[in-house]
Structure 1
Amino acid sequence: MSCQCLTATLRSVAHLSPARWAEVNAALVAKIIGEFAHEGLFEPVALEGPPADETATACYEIAGDDPGVRYRFAARRFRLNHWDVEPASITREIDGVAQPLDAGALFIECRATLGLNDDMLALYLEEIASTRYSAAYKRATARHSAAELALADFQTIEAAMTEGHPAFVANNGRVGFSGDDFAAYAPEAAHPIRLIWVAAHVSRAHFATAGDRSVESHLAGELDSTTRQRFADQLVELGLDPADYHFMPVHPWQWQNKLVFAFADEIATRHLVHLGFAPNAYQAQQSIRTLFNHDVPTRCYVKTSLSILNMGFPRGLSPYYMAGTPAICDWLADLIDGDAYLRSTGFSILREVAAVGYRHPHFEAAVPKTDGANKMLSALWRESPVERLGEGERLMTMAALLHRDYDGNSLIGALIDASGLSIDDWLTAYLDAYMAPLLHCFYAHDLVFMPHGENLILVLREHTVDRVIMKDIAEEIAVMNPAADLPDDVQRIAVTVPDEIRTLSIFTDLFDLIFRYIAATLAVERDYSQSRFWARVADCITRYQAAHPEYADKFARDDLFAPDFSRSCLNRLQLANNRQMLDLADPTGNLQFVGRLDNPIAEVRRHAATA
């Protein structure tokens, strides 16, 4: 083995020390206990009776499938059945003998409780190991405190995020990556990535663009003229006509690990022609297959097929969806531009302005269109937010609001400190910028998004949220009205949703998957009461509803002050099928609902009724 290969091999495990592995195990076991208790998979038993109040720490215990396996821990309990488990407090005993914490062992010890069969468990253990590998790397390479990140630039923050999706416990599986791949392509590695480009024959590939551009004008904005000419000359040298081909970008991992094998026939017959690398370097974003142009930030993001298994899905891109993606984004951008209220909030989207999808005839004939084999070669371009910045403004992923550094300090707390505002005022500005536009989309247009942390970009002014930009639109948008008057090429987003789960687009996606964590962070770190936090949320809704009496009937039908709502369980989804968690063509069909959660803002109505 060469010295260079040996160095790379050693580098891929350099962060895996015993002490660091113990730290990441404790942190992940704490998250597993907390999130599984939240979803009712675990039912912790209080060892000393209930705590005196919501901010008090109490001691709890859970047992494994074998009652001789015991985990004891200290935790605080907050609204929405949120458990804040202290990693340093967790002990594990087997038949009374203390054992080290091991997140993988926890799943083996609780496999019956969690309903994991052998096949699911083996893959889940691989994902849990990979998640800890990533966590250890992040700890080893952490460079910035929360206070420093509060002042940092967009891409520094993007690479520094430690948690991934806050609810899923196996959230960095990335099954398919090697150690070298991780160093080259993981968001936390922040290594420059150059994209491979191919020429795709027009008989196989479809290229769609937004209404304000053509294929030619779009590519002229993304590739310099020298590179475009080089690509065309390569085709001519092979005796091919460039007019018969579309140029498209490919993730280098996808080319080496999937396409050279699965598309060997297409390459051999010159339906697919390798053109080489283009000059610009990109940086992987938290969503891993989305890449930010680091060399020319005003150019588009590129999102590519990446057939690794990560957090319940193989991360391909459907060529069938690509055909309609720009039209959907154009329609939504026009809707927002034509809505005076949305314009007043500054709410906007990053359009997916061009998309190209390749259809391999063999896979298309052999398996359903929804199968991952038909999603191996597609790409889209998404507008960059950089051009939208005004004087004194900067960008930050909303996932950053849930970030804590390794001293336990939160980034949201650092932003509040830097702003000079009270917590009340900072939260009010954030909620008015983030939640109020989503309420209007929901009530005025029956329109819902997937508004989790990775899909929102915050525009900050003086460390305060001024407005938000939504991204990742076409695959994660729905109009909850099958009779909606939509253009033909947008009609696929009109869906039928049962009445009882319409409001979950707010209750689950905002209350449970974002606000639950912010509320707990502020309570633990700043002694900011849960009642006070949820009062801010209620005030935002009340202000919106008071300003829009024309939707009174909808406010009554889709009541955000209802006493409770169905508990939607994401980890149960992944545990049930960690290869294909959801059917994206029927996203509500596989949802896992277990019990109900008390609505933390329902008391606002009760107090109003008794006032």
Structure 2
Amino acid sequence: MTALFERAQRELLAKMLSELSWEELLHPTGDEVCQLDLASGHRYSFRATRRIWGNLDIDPQSLRVDDDAPPCPLQFTMHAKSELGMSPATHATFLRELSNTLRQDVELLRLYGEATAEEMIRWPAARLHAALNGHPKAVANKGRLGWDVAALEAYAPEYGQPIQLSWLAVERQHVQSGGSGDLDERAVLRRALGTDTLRALTERAHQMGAGPDYALIPVHPWQLQAHLAQSFVAERVQGQVIDLGPSGPAFLPTPSLRTLTPANGGPLDVKLSLGILNTSAWRGMPGKYITHGGAISDWLDQLVRNDRVLADRVIVLREVSGHWVRHPLISQCPEAPYRHHELLGALWRDNADHLAGTHRRAIMASALFHVGACGTPLAVAHARAAGVPLVRWLKRLFTVTVAPLWHALCRYGVGFIAHGQNITVILEDDIPVAMALKDFQGDLDLVDVDFPEMAALDADIRALLPRKPPAYIVHDIQTAHFVTVLRFLSAALARSGALEERVFYDCLYEVLQAYKSEHPDLAARHALFDLFGAAMPKVCINRVRFVIGYEDSAERPLPARGTDMVNPLALKSAEWTNIRQVG
């Protein structure tokens, strides 16, 4: 365990130094051999390669502290107090998040650290996703404040423990509901649970006093014990909320923690409120989109099916049914911090593996830059297994992911915040053939221009969704996908010696230019949503937490902005040298 702890410390510290330098909180000097002199008098040195986005790719084994003191990410935060600029209270809580993350990094190495990329690409999706390292930009990405060790071992994805849902019957006067137009609540529950289980659950609810004026709502067993049993004590005594106990098939946790996927390949995932703080936000369930979530995903599904570019490349994971419970007392204080309004909610959503079919695999985009014990990124292992050159494999990936994202924005003004969990890549014989899109509650935007193609979207829904100017909404692709997914994929490929970053972005450039040429009718919108501009804004998610701290707020925190970056797509291949010099 000592060796695993040493490795985990070095890897987490390397990530911290890299991301916090990229976010301009730290300013190391040197080229390849770098040195960071802190105001505290401590010196950190390491070997690194400056990647195409300006970030340092640090060799963890090269890290040295002062006179060869053991590298420790926790101690580093004390050495860098001046540079990080946190208040004492924020610093102490950040240390808790970072300590929790370090512990789980050790656990991931213990559980999966010996698996090669060739092994991992054959694992079931749930097991593969359990082995992933988490948010690539957030340095304390497994903080999970609120869970103790027992809760982690029962409910964290890396342990792969099956979870049986708990159930509540809630009087509908407290419930906001929504769903797909072609499925009623019972039909959804029948699909999720099976006819016999639903019948037994309904009979139990009836016996305990819940009639048709009650909604059957699944809850995470931890949430029930840690929050709901006490928060809704009056409603439970009065019979407005009835605890029906556990029921139904087993589910497995996913990297998003609050989304559970059927252990035996069922058709629906379920997303549940969790009162824990992880990667900057409380993981509750907002009620804002519940009523219209099904209609939004139905509209997107029809949009995709009727578009010749999207129909064969995109699967919409519909939000087929949802409930959100308004707390009778807390709702009387709408300005209260958002986490108190998000204690109880559930959303049933199409399962990607089920929709992909038996001969295809559905994996999160973030899995592609995961590196096995052999040093090989999973993207490379898939290309080798498919028997195709990596360049051709990547062009196929971009054709079924980035090009459709751009097309949806240009044709319909729809922006998907396309980070590595929201984008699921569908593989057939290890080759990318499509992608699945999910999470339209807060991760879907509309351009603030009323395109004619929006006409089929209900006006109330159009008013509900965030509206952004073209210059902002284009960053749903650039910031969320290029910087949060492709930046790490291109670096992993370069680090492994599989492909130079210049070639990687040449491939992306060529795919997007080919798409432009195929759709001259959208030329004006291609210019409106320009992916090739010289500069791109840098969004910083770590330093905003250092500034605002951990105090409750009415809204989820917004990221900070750093110095604009040079866009790797801005110039053609012959000018890459100039890009690297500017970067």
CA 492–572 in structure 1, closer or farther in 2 if over 3 Å, else same: farther
Give the partner amino acid of 2:305.
D
Q: 2:579: which partner in 1?
A: none
Q: 2:224: which partner in 1?
A: 255
Q: 2:580: which partner in 1?
A: none
CA 185–343 in structure 1, closer or farther in 2 if over 3 Å, else same: same
Q: 1:574: which partner in 2?
A: 545
Aligned pairs (5 A) from 1:340-351: 340-344=308-312, 346-351=313-318
Q: 2:198: which partner in 1?
A: 228
Separation of aligned partners in 2, 1:207 and 1:503: 32
Give the partner amino acid of 1:598.
V
CA 550–593 in structure 1, closer or farther in 2 if over 3 Å, else same: same
The question of whether the paired residues in 2 share the 8 Å contact of 1:561 and 1:605 is answered with no
Separation of aligned partners in 1, 2:552 and 2:567: 27
Q: 1:217: which partner in 2?
A: 187
Separation of aligned partners in 1, 2:354 and 2:94: 41
Aligned pairs (5 A) from 1:158-177: 158-161=129-132, 163-177=133-147
CA 606–425 in structure 1, closer or farther in 2 if over 3 Å, else same: closer
Q: 1:600: which partner in 2?
A: 568
Q: 1:9: which partner in 2?
A: none
Q: 1:288: which partner in 2?
A: 257
Deviations 1:148-198 (A, max 9, x none): 01222222212221x101111111010010111001000101100001011
Q: 1:63 aligns with which of 23, 32, 37?
A: 37
Q: 1:312: which partner in 2?
A: 280
Q: 1:551 aligns with which of 522, 528, 541?
A: 522
Give the partner amino acid of 1:106.
F
Deviations 1:293-337 (A, max 9, x none): 113x23310100001010101100013321221111111111112
Separation of aligned partners in 1, 2:335 and 2:292: 19
Q: 1:5: which partner in 2?
A: none
Give the deviation of 1:544 after TM superposition.
1.0
Give the secondary structure class of the aligned counterpart of 1:573.
helix
Q: 1:327: which partner in 2?
A: 295
Give the deviation of 1:207 after TM superposition.
2.6
The question of whether the paired residues in 1 share the 8 Å contact of 2:537 and 2:562 is answered with yes
The question of whether the paired residues in 2 share the 8 Å contact of 1:564 and 1:599 is answered with yes
Give the deviation of 1:601 after TM superposition.
1.6
Q: 1:6: which partner in 2?
A: none
Separation of aligned partners in 2, 1:358 and 1:311: 24
Give the secondary structure class of the aligned counterpart of 2:572.
helix
CA 582–546 in structure 1, closer or farther in 2 if over 3 Å, else same: farther
Q: 1:512 aligns with which of 483, 492, 516?
A: 483
Q: 2:63: which partner in 1?
A: 90
Q: 2:155: which partner in 1?
A: 185
Give the secondary structure class of the aligned counterpart of 1:208.
strand
The question of whether the paired residues in 1 share the 8 Å contact of 2:120 and 2:372 is answered with no
Give the partner amino acid of 1:230.
A
Gaps in structure 2 of 5+ consecutive residues: 577-583
Give the secondary structure class of the aligned counterpart of 2:165.
strand
Q: 1:53: which partner in 2?
A: none
The TM-score, its normalising length taken from structure 1, stands at: 0.89
Separation of aligned partners in 2, 1:519 and 1:582: 36
Separation of aligned partners in 1, 2:336 and 2:465: 20
Q: Which moved more, 1:106-115 or 1:361-370?
A: 361-370
CA 561–174 in structure 1, closer or farther in 2 if over 3 Å, else same: same
The TM-score, its normalising length taken from structure 2, stands at: 0.93
Separation of aligned partners in 2, 1:581 and 1:574: 12
The question of whether the paired residues in 1 share the 8 Å contact of 2:338 and 2:553 is answered with no
Separation of aligned partners in 1, 2:308 and 2:560: 37
Separation of aligned partners in 2, 1:325 and 1:499: 24
The question of whether the paired residues in 1 share the 8 Å contact of 2:447 and 2:468 is answered with yes
Q: 2:120 aligns with which of 137, 149, 173?
A: 149
Aligned pairs (5 A) from 1:462-541: 462-481=429-448, 483=450, 485=455, 486-541=457-512
The question of whether the paired residues in 1 share the 8 Å contact of 2:371 and 2:492 is answered with no
Q: Are 2:43 and 1:76 equivalent residues in the alignment?
A: no
Give the deviation of 1:493 after TM superposition.
4.7
Q: 1:31: which partner in 2?
A: 15
Q: Are 2:236 and 1:267 equivalent residues in the alignment?
A: yes
Separation of aligned partners in 1, 2:223 and 2:148: 13
Separation of aligned partners in 2, 1:219 and 1:527: 46
Deviations 1:61-89 (A, max 9, x none): 112231x2010000011111121100000
The question of whether the paired residues in 2 share the 8 Å contact of 1:317 and 1:378 is answered with yes
Separation of aligned partners in 1, 2:119 and 2:551: 38
Give the partner amino acid of 2:2.
P
Q: 2:24: which partner in 1?
A: 40
The question of whether the paired residues in 2 share the 8 Å contact of 1:313 and 1:578 is answered with no
Give the partner amino acid of 1:386.
D
Separation of aligned partners in 2, 1:527 and 1:521: 9
Q: 1:431 aligns with which of 393, 398, 402?
A: 398
Give the partner amino acid of 1:327.
A
CA 481–37 in structure 1, closer or farther in 2 if over 3 Å, else same: same
Give the secondary structure class of the aligned counterpart of 1:372.
helix
Give the partner amino acid of 2:35.
E
Aligned pairs (5 A) from 1:119-158: 119-142=89-112, 144-158=115-129
Give the deviation of 1:582 after TM superposition.
9.4
Give the partner amino acid of 1:555.
H
Give the secondary structure class of the aligned counterpart of 1:298.
coil
Give the partner amino acid of 2:50.
R
Give the secondary structure class of the aligned counterpart of 2:217.
strand
CA 580–509 in structure 1, closer or farther in 2 if over 3 Å, else same: farther
Give the deviation of 1:28 after TM superposition.
0.4
CA 307–241 in structure 1, closer or farther in 2 if over 3 Å, else same: closer
Give the partner amino acid of 1:256.
Q
Separation of aligned partners in 1, 2:289 and 2:174: 15
How many residue pairs end up in the alignment? 571
The question of whether the paired residues in 1 share the 8 Å contact of 2:219 and 2:272 is answered with yes
Q: 1:454 aligns with which of 421, 438, 450?
A: 421
Deviations 1:222-267 (A, max 9, x none): 23344334334334434x2421211110000100100111111111
The question of whether the paired residues in 2 share the 8 Å contact of 1:139 and 1:406 is answered with no
Separation of aligned partners in 1, 2:394 and 2:552: 33
Q: 1:246 aligns with which of 215, 220, 231?
A: 215
